[in-house]
Amino acid sequence: MNGFAHPWLLPLAAAAPLLLAWLTARRNRHQRVPALATAGRRIRLAQAAPALALLGVAAAWAAAAGPARLFMSRSPSSGRDVVVLLDVSASMGARGGGGDALAAARRAVQALAAARHDDRLALVAFGARAAVLSPLTHDHATLIALMSNLAPAALGPRTALGDGLAVALELLRGSARGSAGIVLVTDGESNAGALDPLTAAEAAADRGIPVDTVAVSGGEAEGGSGRVNEALLRAIASRTGGRFVRARDGAALAAAFADLARLQPVEKAARPRATAEDRSAVPARWAACLLVAAALLDAAGRRAWA
């Protein structure tokens, strides 16, 4: 299939022949003397220069319109759609037995992104409320940069785990069944929000989306108990077909994410993809030849009259 990158330029190319016809008619009205009988050969050829110039301009506009041949191809893609659901409640920044849990989580997610370069990653942070910091993207560098700006209690001191799961599930609405997952990182109990975490887990299970839960050690902070509700996190993982991991320090957290990074990629259904083969070189060459020829003929005619 053929097409143009800038079809709005085509009327300008079409206008060149019309302009040529108008100039020819105008010249015929004003030049009634039959000069061709006595004019030299170079003068007669020079009279073709305006026509060649206009055709050259038309070809140049046609090249600028970007003629292309379009191909539709289907190529399968691999990788998963993974939402990192990160607790940023106040306790994630408190220094407990595991130190600064949020800083350790940043490092672990960075390692995951480096290992899973074919995956589309998204980032959802939650405290007392949940917010999408990055939609699904292959631009992992931007996602990591956004994580570096996260601060504990930025979304409130408490922990709305169920609301965070709901937001993560919404991001995966367009993902194919079996190719999506959620990695939940938290250090406390769910003590805020409108949605029960187990209700959100049931919704994930119905859609075939596993939730891997990673319990990290934070510390006591306002709005949180500082204690991980392991039973809840195990239940979420169990109901969705995910895994529960207990990371008591930064090294254990890094190991947990390294294990997640070893997931096998999923072959996704092939999607139609349009590719274009540029065809502007042909009219561009014609334009150059016609304009050069017009210039040479015009110069020859001027010398003949000199």
* Residue-wise pLDDT tens digits, 174-214: 888 778 889 998 876 788 878 889 999 999 999 999 998 88
Residue pLDDT, tens place only, 35-90: 444 455 655 666 677 777 778 777 887 788 777 776 665 444 557 888 999 888 87
Closest CA to 131 of 160, 111, 105: 160
Collapsing DSSP states into helix, strand and coil, what is residue 72? strand
- Mean pLDDT, rounded, of the chain: 75
Q: Please, which residues bridge with residue 214 across strands?
A: 185, 245
* pLDDT score of 25: 61
- Which of the four pLDDT bands, split at 50, 70 and 90, describes residue 108? confident
Examine the pLDDT at 23 and tell me if it is beyond 80.
no
Q: Domain spanning 80-265: which CATH class is it, in words?
A: alpha beta
* pLDDT score of 224: 45
* pLDDT score of 13: 60
* pLDDT score of 166: 93
* pLDDT score of 191: 80
Cα-Cα-Cα-Cα torsion 40, 45, 51, 53, nearest 10 degrees, comes to: -120
Collapsing DSSP states into helix, strand and coil, what is residue 61? helix
Share of the chain above pLDDT 90, in %: 11
**Where is pLDDT greater, at 45 or 238?**
238
SS3 content of the chain, % helix, strand, coil (to 5): 50, 25, 30
Question: What's the mean pLDDT in 113-139?
Answer: 86
Examine the pLDDT at 96 and tell me if it is beyond 80.
no
* pLDDT score of 32: 46
* pLDDT score of 220: 45
Enumerate helices (H) and strands (E) in the chain, giving the number of each. Answer: 10, 11
Residue pLDDT, tens place only, 253-296: 777 777 766 664 544 555 556 666 777 888 888 888 888 887 88
Which of 92-101, 153-162, 244-253, 289-298 is predicted with the least confidence, judged by mean pLDDT?
92-101
* pLDDT score of 71: 63
Q: In whole angstroms, what is the distance from residue 69 CA to residue 61 CA?
A: 18
Amino acid in the structure at residue 192: A
- Provide the 8-state DSSP code for 5: S
Contact 165, 184 (CB under 8 A): yes
Cβ-based neighbours of 250, under 8 Å, separated by 6 or more: 98, 99, 103, 104, 107, 108
Q: In whole angstroms, what is the distance from residue 233 CA to residue 211 CA?
A: 9
Radius of gyration of the chain (CA): 34
* pLDDT score of 163: 92
Q: In whole angstroms, what is the distance from residue 296 CA to residue 42 CA?
A: 11
Contact 93, 221 (CB under 8 A): yes
HEC profile for 258-281?
Answer: HHHHCCCCCEEEEEEEEEEEECCH
Q: Are strands 67-78 and 267-278 parallel, antiparallel or unpaired?
A: antiparallel
Structural domain boundaries in the chain = 2-72+275-305, 80-265
Question: What's the mean pLDDT in 141-165?
Answer: 82
* pLDDT score of 203: 93
